[in-house]
Structure 1
Amino acid sequence: MILKKQDCGKKKKSNPIIGILLFLISIVLMILTGPIGLVFGFFHQLFTKGFKGIGEFALKIAVSIDQLGNVIMRHLFNALWITKDGYEFGNRDETISSALGKNKQLGTLTPFGKAIDKVLDTIDPDHTLNSIDYFIEPTLKTR
């Protein structure tokens, strides 16, 4: 079998109907199977790794939800939390805190973005700076 190298720099054309259909299917599958997988996963982790395993599983889920939030909320966050030349939210592989931390470093947070960062710093000192993922590939403009 010969594997073709993908050109990740090219923007792939997509059919909007297929995108909407796959979105709806993913929602239905999550509603129907998600609770079963969640309960099974917690018990599996409990019996194989103990309480520590549950914490690891919960953290992975939290990061995934955070990444989803970064995609869903990107337009709002880009409009409210960063200046025009800021590092944009919306990368599906990045958490909200990572993008917020990059903008903190760049000095491109709006007053509202700075307030959000301050709230997170109150809960967990230097949260956004410690959350920066330097291995995230930049994405195309999202605005």
Structure 2
Amino acid sequence: MILHKENHKKDKEINPLIGILLFLISIVLMLISGPIGFIFAFLKLLFTKGIKGIGGYALQLAISIDQLGNVLMQHLFNSIWIKNNGYQFGNRDETISSAIGKNKELGTLTNFGKVIDKLLDLIDPNHSLNSIDYYIQPTD
């Protein structure tokens, strides 16, 4: 029987101390190398692709930060933005807006979640529904 890498990772038990250590290392590396990488990318794109290149890079960063927010804030969002049977926040490959949109479709947003959705609609009409990523599989 052939196991896919993703399924194999789920079966392997992870030492919680390793997770904490890797988290701390990733924070330190980001704080040290992140500003250097950002300035380098900004200047390179400015001189090779102009403002369009910077805009595309900014969008990539925004999506990545949004995905981080989905993981970081999952417990809070699951408690206050959705009903008990709602689509869960926390998938590392999904944006917050995609999860809001899925809950909007399911009718599982709480009143507070509906307010957040309306605020997003003021900035970008139908933002959460247009942001749904149907290729993201729910996590356990």
Give the secondary structure class of the aligned counterpart of 1:8. Answer: helix
Give the secondary structure class of the aligned counterpart of 1:66. Answer: helix
Q: Paired residue for 2:76?
A: 76
Q: Paired residue for 2:113?
A: 113
Q: Paired residue for 1:36?
A: 36
Distance 1:71-1:83 versus aligned 2 partners, 3 A rule: same
1:15-34 equivalences under 5 Å are 15-34=15-34
TM-score normalised according to structure 1 size: 0.92
Moved more, 40-49 or 22-31: 40-49
CA shift at 1:44, angstroms?
Answer: 1.3
CA shift at 1:47, angstroms?
Answer: 1.7
Give a deviation string over 1:29-60, Cα, whole Å, max 9, x none: 00100000000011111122111000000000
CA shift at 1:12, angstroms?
Answer: 3.0
Q: Which amino acid aligns with 1:136?
A: I
CA shift at 1:7, angstroms?
Answer: 5.2
Structure 2: unaligned runs, 5 residues or longer: none
Q: Which amino acid aligns with 1:138?
A: P
Distance 1:7-1:29 versus aligned 2 partners, 3 A rule: closer
Q: Paired residue for 1:133?
A: 133
Q: Paired residue for 1:8?
A: 7
Distance in 2, matches of 1:61 and 1:7, equals 25
CA shift at 1:119, angstroms?
Answer: 0.6
TM-score normalised according to structure 2 size: 0.94
Distance in 2, matches of 1:89 and 1:96, equals 7
Give the secondary structure class of the aligned counterpart of 2:42. Answer: helix
Runs of 4 or more off by more than 2 Å in structure 1? 4-7, 9-12
Aligned length: 138
Give the secondary structure class of the aligned counterpart of 2:5. Answer: coil
Distance in 2, matches of 1:100 and 1:5, equals 30
RMSD, aligned CA: 1.5
Distance in 1, matches of 2:134 and 2:32, equals 36
